[in-house]
Chain A
């Protein structure tokens, strides 16, 4: 780690907001650190201050109730999410998606909020959460606002979050509890790898959505589809948003082919009752 930076670890939200305000634009929030430390190491970022939020009790915990749905705190690790009983019972797609993030070592440390805030188009958690219609609670000294995850991303590694804001909680709506689902991720090796494409489908008796990773500058989601939408309509909705590119990981054509293949597979599982 070849750069100097300050380190602050506020113990309350109020303290955190004050710190962010004071260091506006120069602070970087540190949760799991699995992206931040790599970026520091590579010199991709040079914050004057790292603000460690792990000591703030309000940012922990996973809450679920029938009325409000699921709420995941900003410092909850991937492993905590994947092992949480409510997540497994009501939102198994989330458990599946966070299980795809990195390697076991990384999942012990990385947070799902961090996975989102990095803003990568290939974030494994985002393609599932976006299909579930998740939203994010963004907080600052000025108050709290809630934005849909699908609106949160504005470009590769760029999000709506303001310099003085912090992602405090991830909210998944109650009406998506118990959704049928399927998820597939294309990798170059069976060990940990970045998604070449990833596809997550969530379906209730009211709506079906397909979330897609690595197919556009940001994680994307189809328009809301009818729960009995045909495969053809589903693929058309996917094609309307998925615009993959060529890069060292895969070609545009292979990505397009695999997105369709995954959608078809998951669709077939869901509608033949093989899906959950």
Chain B
């Protein structure tokens, strides 16, 4: 749907239209799942495993059951269902064995949360602690404990994933492009390094919460804070063997997801409790501590990169090995491995590429989708590797990136040819480089160094990401014309805070030529009311839903023109319209208004025609293919959004303390639909990226117990941690099949922040960092190493 309309000719597109959910959220009127109360509703509490891996020898629930006010007590033994999105590997609660610290072992539903908690404390579990498997890089060691000995019996999407039964490998993604060994032979230099990332928690403001009701006749109603009511419904139906038409899932306002609420979460458990309690509503809201170890996190990554380079700075071969620490379950994380596998080089062209990406089961809290879907983690390695190589070759790292940047004519790692309409990563890099005065210190910055004793460093990093989704991801927008010629939209892309609904209203208003105020999209979604959408994930919402919205708006006009043609006795091709009416172009006094036709048109004598107006726009990702399992060649990407960050940091050369002075970001969004939404995504994601870069991450002891399971020791950035200056830019290279040329930018803003910060610190004080997060202490340690001479510049290893 390439649109070459100049921005000045667009009335709504590109404008900072106010978000339609802003007032409800700011005034507290927005209703979230936690606000909902039902007569007779029960509250659930959980008993959780203190061990990473333990046999459950016995559970005694008799005392809990007898406590007055308790209506149901369930353990894993009572629940014979497995759940999962891509790989169905998870019991609703631990059954016979616990696989991670914090896993649910028993659940109680009682009249109050206090009674439920008391009952939980009355449950006695006898465990036999077993040796856990904790290090994903040891996956090929002999005789390691198997997290899932039954892996061979699990169902999974066979066209896409490759579990290896008898091992801890939940998925092995292989990518082979060109001849990597030949590439290394032709390389002048070869560099091989390893980069690491811990598990990270999403920390949405609203923790996971679900209310379930299981009625007679297996009719299920679920209210949940989820990224998709339809995916919850589909996975629920699959696991329980109940028809989709019997399951109703409602998502009220959602207080953030960031990937952690994709797929399915607490919903099966509350429904099973409801069934056991005779059909009462059961509500379960995770505590913040439960967010850290009951619910999923981001997979850890150990990333080994071997790069072959020519003297002129051109990378010609790269072998990439990813050990994804997926934790105890990999139902969603297997796709992180796939999606990061096919983009593991970052936005750089690699002629000869080889990727082995493993999702490895370990006895840790499990990984799932997280904003960036693997790209944040591998970007850390890629962007540090790019700087390392540039340094070794004595080429400026920004120049080195430009030499290797993907551009029209380049082939991606899966063999897709990049075109003029794919986006421009070099332009993004140049934009941010200019914004931070890359390559030199300004007079002000020099004076600042003098005054503070800190050292200032600057970096430019680049990023890319395509949506990671099934090849047949689709969506629908339905427009219902109201009596006053306003439109109510039914659409089920969940608005979890990203602002897409406001953009959709702008798109619909632009096509209809109506004021945007006449378009309303209710924020709540309901599978019984709304048409299908897959999920709010992957930064695909604007592109797919935007196109569906255009088609729906065109359909609405088409239907209104049908009515007008009949009523005005005119040819459709002679009709035109404005915000109020459809008229005959050459005879403008001849018209009927949208109000007149909204619920059916009546002639002056009372005869009526046509019925209420409803319009539909359906859209599906087109031309995508499953990747060849042997080499990952094919078409996985509906679009690529490119971007870049320019980062300025100052570092205390003695203590390692550092400040991020400025972050400038640029994204090739194709076309800005809502300026403020782009800015919001750009800033919000960048700050989330800073959290990952500077302070977030799980710390375990040697037994796999999580040592920082709350905000006390798992810090996230606060308002005081913002950079002193933030600048955002949009580059607009229109996407051929994007709505008005637009593409998504939901995740991209956080992807390369870590590398940017690490590289700027390196530039400032010359330290080499390979582990994320970068705490002041890590910089200090690297400074110590440097002064001991261990981190000295190595001579490039000539092949």
Q: Write the residues of chain A forming the contact surface with B, with a CB cutoff of 8 angstroms.
A: 2-4, 103, 186, 188-194, 248-251, 254, 257-258, 261
Contact = CB atoms under 8 A, between A and B. Distances in A.
A188 B715 contact: yes
A2 B707 contact: no
Nearest to B699: A248
A121 to B, nearest CB: 14
A258 B721 contact: no
Nearest to A255: B777
Contacts of A257: 655, 780
A254 B708 CA distance: 19
Contacts of A193: 715
B192 interface: no
Given A2-B114, A254-B781, A257-B780, 4 more contacts: A2-B118, A186-B776, A254-B780, A261-B654
Contacts of A186: 776
Interface string B27-43: 00000000000000000
A249 B713 contact: yes
Categorize the interface residue count of chain B. 20 to 34
Interface in B669-724: 694-695, 699, 707-708, 712-713, 715-721
Given A2-B114, A248-B708, A261-B655, A190 B780 contact: no
A258 B784 CA distance: 13
Interface centre among A193, A248, A258 (most CB of B within 10 A): A248
B719 A191 contact: yes
Contacts of A191: 715, 717-721
Given A192-B718, A248-B713, A2 B113 contact: yes
30 contacts: A2-B113, A2-B114, A2-B117, A2-B118, A3-B114, A4-B114, A103-B718, A188-B695, A188-B775, A188-B776, A189-B694, A189-B695, A189-B715, A189-B720, A190-B718, A190-B720, A191-B718, A191-B720, A192-B718, A194-B712, A248-B699, A248-B707, A248-B708, A249-B713, A250-B777, A254-B777, A254-B781, A258-B655, A261-B654, A261-B655
Interface of B: 113-114, 117-118, 654-655, 694-695, 699, 707-708, 712-713, 715-721, 775-777, 780-781
B695 to A, nearest CB: 5
Contacts of B654: 261
A2 B655 CA distance: 43
Contacts of A254: 777, 780-781
A233 to B, nearest CB: 22
A250 B775 CA distance: 10
A104 to B, nearest CB: 11
Nearest to A3: B114
Q: 10 smallest A-B Cβ distances: which pairs?
A: A191-B718, A2-B117, A190-B720, A254-B777, A191-B720, A189-B715, A248-B707, A190-B721, A248-B699, A188-B715
B777 A189 contact: no
Given A2-B113, A188-B695, A251 B777 contact: yes
Contacts of B715: 188-189, 191, 193
Contacts of B708: 248
Contacts of B781: 254
B114 A189 contact: no
Contacts of A249: 713
A261 B657 CA distance: 12
A250 B717 CA distance: 18
Chain B CB within 10 Å, residue with most, of A2, A4, A193, A257: A2
A248 B707 CA distance: 7
Contacts of B118: 2
Contacts of A192: 718
Nearest to A1: B114
B712 to A, nearest CB: 7
Contacts of A190: 718, 720-721
Contacts of A258: 655
A54 B717 CA distance: 34
A57 B692 CA distance: 48
A3 B113 CA distance: 10
A18 B715 CA distance: 43
A100 to B, nearest CB: 13
Nearest to B716: A189
Contacts of A261: 654-655
A189 B780 contact: no
A194 to B, nearest CB: 7
A261 B776 CA distance: 14
A161 B699 CA distance: 35
Of A4, A189, A190, most B-chain CB atoms within 10 Å: A189
Nearest to A262: B655
Contacts of A189: 694-695, 715-718, 720-721
Contacts of A3: 114
A258 B655 CA distance: 7
Nearest to A249: B713
A177 B467 CA distance: 64
A244 B776 CA distance: 18
Contacts of B114: 2-4
B203 to A, nearest CB: 13
Nearest to B701: A248
Most chain-A Cβ atoms within 10 A of its Cβ — which of B118, B712, B721, B777? B777
A70 B444 CA distance: 45
Nearest to A250: B777
A2 B120 CA distance: 12
Contacts of A4: 114
A188 B775 CA distance: 7
Nearest to B118: A2
A261 B654 CA distance: 9
A191 B707 CA distance: 21
Contacts of B717: 189, 191
A193 B775 CA distance: 14
A216 to B, nearest CB: 19
A103 B711 CA distance: 13
Contacts of B716: 189
A257 B787 CA distance: 15
Nearest to B780: A254
Instruction: Pick the most buried of B695, B707, B715, B719: most chain A CB atoms within 10 A of its CB.
Output: B715
A188 B694 CA distance: 8
A193 B713 CA distance: 9
Contacts of A194: 712
